[in-house]
Amino acid sequence: MAFVRHDMDFLGGRRLRRLRQAQWSRAMVRETSLTPSDFIYPIFVMDAPEGRQPIHTMPGQSRLGLRDAVEVAREARDLGIPALAIFPNTQDDRRSEDGGEALNPDNLTCRVLRAIKDAVPEVGLVSDVALDPYTTHGHDGVMAGEVILNDETVEILVGQALNQTRAGSDVIAPSDMMDGRVGAIRRALDGEGHTDTLIMAYSAKYASSFYGPFRDAISSGNRLKGDKRTYQMDYANSDEALREAEMDLDEGADIIMVKPGMPYLDIIRRFKDTFNAPIAAYQVSGEYAMIEMGAKAGIVDRDAAMMESLFAFKRAGCDTILTYFAMDAARKLGA
Ligand code: PBG
């Protein structure tokens, strides 16, 4: 076959493929990097001395008994992952209308926090502040009829944050989306002398269909009455996310988060361009499950899709990524 050679003078010497020609030249000009220290690994825990109960909607993830949670914390530390986030699967008889179990100093989360702090003190511990693991109706706050009460919920969340901090939590992560909770928690923490406890605010948390497998993991999904649209954000909005983050920073948040992750990279970028603060993103359960299930169905190469998705977060402007891929990605990066 004879090729016609076109006049390419209009390129003026510019050929972007030159830098892509070899592994060395691509590596030389790579704009972002990914390391195990970019990750926070969210783990699910259950009330058992040991054992692992697979979560079917999240292939590769399990609810961990106490001993296994400590074991995973050790592995995470050895892989260079700086922090874990703890999510409890609460027993049925400990759930109530007002989620009072959140205030129990011996609740599952507190016991796990103490056990890991004791055995693996080098790992940072993030604990979620919201009532959904403890309520019979699966909402993040207390209800009066159909309404989620804001200020009454904040009162309980403050108690929950103090309870977790006393048990050893390093980072309080309010995921409830009540107004004013960051300021109220900061004040209460400082009042008890916990001035060094960080707050990572779920600032732009959207009412999303990608949380399904998580709700399965903590057994709150089948209980949930209605949806969370009166407190979590409308996915059609972007300016509102900036207002949320601005308020959280004013109220004392150390890190602001965007959640879910991949469908909201535009919000991450806006945060990065607007605020001089560390930015987290949560690659949520549904995003994880879609990649895992897609790989099982032969649609994508699992490891390649995992890495591409994590790099996308860094490129968008993330400083830290909460991801269920943390352990596997860290292993791959270390290899
Ligand atoms: C609850 C909470 C949720 C997630 C983290 N904290 C679910 C929800 O708001 O219903 C979702 C995480 C995930 O899907 O991986 N406050």
Q: Break the chain into its structural domains and give their ranges.
A: 35-334
The pLDDT score that the predictor gives to residue 246 is: 98
Checking if the pLDDT of 4 tops 90, the result is no
Residue 329, number of CB atoms within 10 A of its CB: 25
- Which residues are paired to 148 by β-bridges? 143
User: 145's torsion region: left (phi>0), alpha (psi -120 to 50) or beta?
Assistant: left
pLDDT value of residue 2: 80
Cβ 259 under 6 angstroms from ligand 1: no
pLDDT (mean) for 41-54:
98
Has residue 46 got a pLDDT over 90?
yes
Q: Which positions ≥6 away from 263 have C-beta within 8 Å?
A: 208, 210, 235
Average pLDDT of the chain is: 97
Rg (Cα) of the chain, in Å, rounded?
22
Kindly indicate the confidence band of residue 325, based on its pLDDT and cuts at 50, 70 and 90.
Answer: very high
Q: Which atom of ligand 1 is nearest to the CA of 285?
A: 15
Q: Give yes or no: 332 in active site.
A: no
| Distance from Cα 88 to the centre of ligand 1, integer Å | 12
Neighbours of 74 (CB within 10 A): 14
CATH topology of domain 35-334: TIM Barrel (3.20.20)
Beta partners for 323?
283
Please, which residues have CB within 8 angstroms of residue 27's CB and are 6 or more apart in sequence? none
Kindly state the tokens that stand for 113.
Answer: 């926090």
Ligand 1 pocket check for 140: Cβ under 6 Å: yes
**Does 1 score more than 80 pLDDT?**
no
Substitution candidate for ligand 1 out of 140, 164, 233 with most atoms within 8 A of CB: 140
Mean predicted confidence (pLDDT) in 191-208: 98
Indicate yes or no: pTM above 0.95. Answer: yes
Ligand 1 atom nearest to CA at 220: 10
The full DSSP string for 100-150 is GGGG-TTSHHHHHHHHHHHH-TTSEEEEEE-STTTBTT--SS-EETTEEPH
Looking at the predicted structure, is the pLDDT value of residue 3 above 90?
no
Bigger pLDDT: 219 vs 155: 155
Is 314 labeled as catalytic in the residue annotation?
A: no
Residue 285 has pLDDT above 80, yes or no: yes
d(CA 244, CA 262): 19
